Amino acid sequence: MLWLFVQGKPKELNIDKDQIEKYAISRAEIWAIKNGSDLERNGKIILNKNLTLPPSHLFQYAFCTDTKYDEKVAGYVKGSDLLYHEATFTEKQADRAKATYHSTALQAAKIAEKAEVKQLLLGHFSARFGATTELESEAKQVFKNTVCVKDGDEFNF
């Protein structure tokens, strides 16, 4: 079983530009505020939360391949923006998938649904599938936001 969960580097807070002007905040103070400090002006403390905006979204993706169906995977990849999951077989070959430690397209979709991911990419298909329409269709029964990809494809999210 191979699975990988990657989360981007945490981003710093964004300072509210209106607050910079309002309080004449210096560059040194901006860096301190971005790192969580409050601001003092005329003996009053202006809380950091009133000076900043939340950081931009932290992109997360997960990669699961050569893995048989295991619901625990959903907990590991929960909330990912993008999940790449193998779909070596369809449900018609579920016994073969289990015997060879692989997943079906439907099983990958179940993981995506349970994990509440935003996008599911299916890959690592058996050579018996010339086209991936059957695999994609099977997965979309459970998780609509599914796309099949193959080596060399580029996917913009």
pLDDT recorded at residue 90: 94
Residues 127 and 104 in one domain: yes
122: nearest Cα among 149, 145, 153: 149
Looking at the structure of the chain, the number of domains it has is 2
Answer whether residue 9 is part of any domain: no
Q: Residue 88 is encoded by which pair of tokens?
A: 């070596």
Residues 63 and 45 in one domain: no
pLDDT recorded at residue 7: 63
pLDDT along the chain (157 residues), means of 10: 61 89 94 94 95 86 89 93 94 94 96 97 85 93 95 79
Residues 66 and 109 in one domain: yes
DSSP code per residue over 59-116 = -EEEEEES----THHHHHSTT-SEEEEE--B-GGGHHHHHHTT--BHHHHHHHHHHHT
Residues 30 and 103 in one domain: no
Answer whether residue 157 is part of any domain: no
Q: pTM of whole model > 0.75?
A: no
Residues 74 and 114: beta-carbon distance below 8 Å: yes
Structural domain of 32 = 14-53
